[in-house]
Amino acid sequence: MNSAPDQLLVLVLLINILILGTHRTRVAIRAIATQGIVLGVLPLMIHSFHSHILIITLFVLLAKGVCIPWLLFGALKKVDFGEHMEPFLGYTGNIIAGALATVVAFAFAARLPLAPVHQGLLAVPAALATILTGFIALASRRKAIHQVIGYLLLENGIFIFGLLLTESMPLMVEAGALLDLIAGIFVMGIIIKQIGREFSSMDTSRMTALREVD
């Protein structure tokens, strides 16, 4: 538990809770950027040094630490109405749900049939907890930009699980996945600006024109 990668993973878990508990969009974006940077450093600490690992680290730092936060702040600049929108369940409810999800993740990961090398590693429960946190954020938030942050949490969780596999994933696929992620956030950023223009708000629960009525 005292090794540096495990401490960084604890930091990741704390950031999850912070994102669930904050009502300030800017704080949430900075938090997700910090989480991205932590994730970028992790492969270097877990695996033996290799040019493949170094390139991945650089890509991740650039994508999750710089590009994506920049795109999110860009989307925010156009439509920052600063209105306060309580998530479903409220902030306290969100934090409790996040804490519960973390507990469940640890309990579940202990029972998984992991490879002997990975037994007792924090990476698997941390991955599961981050994925669950992402779902909580996606389900409870109403602002479009917070839903994007929830999606990024989900992606980060999947990335943590991918750490166990970094050596077997081809570089091309990793780089392509990050490129697609940036492109996806770019498109979402554009949509958020349009939502702001059309609905004068980023509240996606106001988008109710399309549903089955009779």
Q: Does 110 bind other proteins (CB under 8 A)?
A: no
- Nearer Cβ to other proteins (62/114): 114
Q: Is 85 in the site for other proteins (CB under 8 A)?
A: no
Answer whether 72's CB lies under 8 Å from 29's CB.
yes
User: Is the Cβ–Cβ distance between 145 and 202 less than 8 Å?
Assistant: yes
User: Does the protein bind other proteins through residue 162 (CB under 8 A)?
Assistant: yes
CB of 77 to other proteins, least distance (A): 19
Give the DSSP letter of residue 61.
Answer: I
Cα angle 203, 88, 192; round to 5: 25
Which of 58, 112, 120, 205 binds other proteins (CB under 8 A)? It is: 112
112 is written with which tokens? 């998984």
* Residues paired with residue 143 on neighbouring β-strands, in sequence order: 203
Q: Indicate whether 125 belongs to the interface with other proteins (CB under 8 A).
A: no
Please identify, using beta-carbon distances, which residue of 102 and 147 lies nearer to other proteins. 147
Cβ atoms within 10 Å of 212's Cβ, excluding its own = 4
Q: In terms of CB distance, is 1 or 209 closer to other proteins? A: 209
What CA–CA distance (Å, rounded) separates 82 from 76?
10
**Token pair belonging to 187:** 């498109």
Q: Could you tell me the smallest distance in angstroms from the CB atom of residue 97 to other proteins?
A: 18
Q: How far is the CB of 92 from other proteins (least distance, A)?
A: 26
Distance CA 76, CA 45 (A): 34
Which CB sits closer to other proteins, 33 or 185? 185
CA nearest to 161, candidates 77, 58, 39, 16: 39
By CB under 8 A, name the one of 4, 81, 187, 205 that touches other proteins: 187
Residue 164 binds other proteins, judged by CB under 8 A: yes
Q: Per the structure block, which two tokens stand in for 138?
A: 């996606």
Binding residues vs other proteins (CB under 8 A): 112-115, 131, 138, 144, 147, 151, 154-155, 158, 161-162, 164-165, 167-170, 172-173, 176-177, 180, 183-184, 187-188, 190-191, 194-195, 198-199, 204, 207, 209-210, 212, 214
